[in-house]
Structure 1
């Protein structure tokens, strides 16, 4: 079949969770709305703390700022539509809008992977090469790395859309997923998928495994460097400084690697289980990440407490000072 646009579809239908009974639609939409609300509040709080506290203007927090922006955009790209699917029984999405959503899903996922690479680089230099840290990871260098991450992610994902959009979609318009992605859309094309799926899979593996390879290397180096420290307290302090990033990286990569590995070794899941796993690793990290920063990162925690009870603490300090004098 010639590869030109035989598309007769004007919209796609997102099924969400295929086996979900209608009586649970309200509960699912409420849970998804709650996830979206917490994600927005938590990440906006991180951005607000960064903007109002100059003590957070450090390389690590510039990286966290980028991650929060990326998480807000990703959640806004994916969640409102699937919430309306269950809240208003509106699962349809226009043909063009579906491809726009597909682009941002893959683009923001790629940016997220590059940002996690920067996190690993930050901890690697801080622990393994502390004397070089301040010279290498300056604010200007972090800015360059961040801009590069947002720009470099565009090319490959734009090509995905450009190659997939003109395919002949002349059969079913039902996407068995909660949002539009490359696989969900291209399986509906009335043409051979291999010329499109193989390059897409290879690109996804480079995007995923490239940063992951450095992340594994960096944390192995960190563990080796930490165990060379004679002082046990020094070891614990060094490990504590990278535990936050390690938790975030684990939340992002481990479920993804499990899904890719399972599909390649012949482990099969039902559509519902597969979608639940994908939704968990897509939507849980954006909601949990800011909570981890505020609980684990001392500067972020102190800044949050200062804004919550900033007027109370100085008064207590004044009373203590008067009583001591």
Structure 2
């Protein structure tokens, strides 16, 4: 929901009700991107964003490719990683191409309907991401705290069902946001100070009191984001307690290493959001430029970094990758030898 924006901003300030008058009806929105970016740095910004998008696609597509061709990866944990990679690809594809085209082709406008479609996918995929991280924590909780029940409770079929439920349930809240925001009268400014359309950016432009729409969105964000986070904190507290009960030091380290990958991914997703939320509530103010930069960093960096974490920290994934690279190397050498002969 508001998982890719500052939480406190979800409440927003109730904009004054604009009097009916000769206001032009908004038919398109303008995305400012990074508001204070000097024109001479726009090319560099677009190049960086394109690099981030390319690395995100390549990294996550590699994860999907390895999962499809390597049967040894068909385990509950990797089914969860597959869902996360799919979500990361979709989110990056939803947000980055438009802002890249703004700086490359000066295409800064987005149609009224397209903006709402983008808003829907931004919040929908953010919610799905939160649910998938919940499944990650559940996987490690059962594996470490209830190892004898793990294979009975968390089967591949169970993970598939839970993943499908996550993708379906996440749709409800995001669709509600769009349904409530779309009919609002938009007759004021059409400038969105962001790199993509989100609920706050759009509804702040409505010529009506935003409170009836902002507060429910804030409550929905708390439920969708902090609900899974509460279980994640609980599960890792249980994991730490269980690990401390292991007498052997090597056993402790081995148990912790099995959940370190997920913990890193979860930290990258939640910690920056929690920082922005706490900073806003203790009175720390961010400029428009800084706010957009922070949001883009915690929205786009994890999808780019996650595949690297999987390949470096996960033994099965690392071995699968090296096996495929070695196969390709051997195949190329064989072709070169055949041509030379």
- Same-fold status (TM-score > 0.5): yes
Q: Which one scores higher on RCO, CA 8 angstroms, separation ≥ 6? A: 2
2:214 maps to which residue? Answer: 197
Q: Is the 8 A contact 2:24 2:188 kept in 1?
A: no
1:143 aligns to 2:160 (yes or no): yes
Q: Is the 8 A contact 1:46 1:290 kept in 2?
A: yes
2:246 maps to which residue? Answer: 229
Q: Is the 8 A contact 1:169 1:189 kept in 2?
A: yes
Give deviations 1:87-112, integer Å, cap 9, x for gaps.
11111000000000000000000000
Cα drift, residue 7 of structure 1: 7.6
- 1:290 pairs, out of 300, 307, 311, with 307
TM-score (norm 1): 0.94
Residues 25-104 of structure 1 correspond to what in structure 2 (within 5 A)? 25-104=42-121
SS of 1:47's equivalent in the other structure is helix
1:319 maps to which residue? Answer: none
Q: Is the 8 A contact 1:7 1:168 kept in 2?
A: no
* Distance in 1 between residues matched to 2:44 and 2:302, nearest whole Å: 21
Cα drift, residue 30 of structure 1: 0.3
Q: Which runs of 5+ in 1 are unaligned?
A: 315-325
> Once superposed, what is the RMSD of the aligned Cα atoms?
1.6
Larger deviation, residues 71-80 vs 83-92: 83-92
Cα drift, residue 266 of structure 1: 2.1
Q: Is the 8 A contact 1:29 1:87 kept in 2?
A: yes
Give deviations 1:275-307, integer Å, cap 9, x for gaps.
111001100010000110011000000000000
* Distance in 2 between residues matched to 1:312 and 1:88, nearest whole Å: 39
* Distance in 2 between residues matched to 1:234 and 1:71, nearest whole Å: 33
* Distance in 2 between residues matched to 1:156 and 1:238, nearest whole Å: 36
SS of 1:263's equivalent in the other structure is helix
* Distance in 1 between residues matched to 2:145 and 2:275, nearest whole Å: 29
Q: Is the 8 A contact 1:7 1:167 kept in 2?
A: no
Give deviations 1:87-146, integer Å, cap 9, x for gaps.
111110000000000000000000000000000000000001000000010011101100
1:21 maps to which residue? Answer: 38
1:154 maps to which residue? Answer: 171
* Distance in 1 between residues matched to 2:219 and 2:210, nearest whole Å: 14
2:269 maps to which residue? Answer: 252
TM-score (norm 2): 0.89
2:141 maps to which residue? Answer: 124
Give deviations 1:28-47, integer Å, cap 9, x for gaps.
00000000000000000000
Residues 108-123 of structure 1 correspond to what in structure 2 (within 5 A)? 108-123=125-140
Give deviations 1:121-174, integer Å, cap 9, x for gaps.
000000010000000100111011000000000011100000000101101000
Q: Which runs of 5+ in 2 are unaligned?
A: 1-16, 332-341
Give the length in aligned residue pairs. 312
Q: Is the 8 A contact 1:248 1:285 kept in 2?
A: yes
* Distance in 1 between residues matched to 2:41 and 2:327, nearest whole Å: 43
Counterparts in 2 of 1:308 and 1:7: CA distance versus 1, 3 Å = farther
Cα drift, residue 264 of structure 1: 2.4
Counterparts in 2 of 1:253 and 1:7: CA distance versus 1, 3 Å = farther
Q: Is the 8 A contact 2:31 2:193 kept in 1?
A: yes
Cα drift, residue 180 of structure 1: 0.1
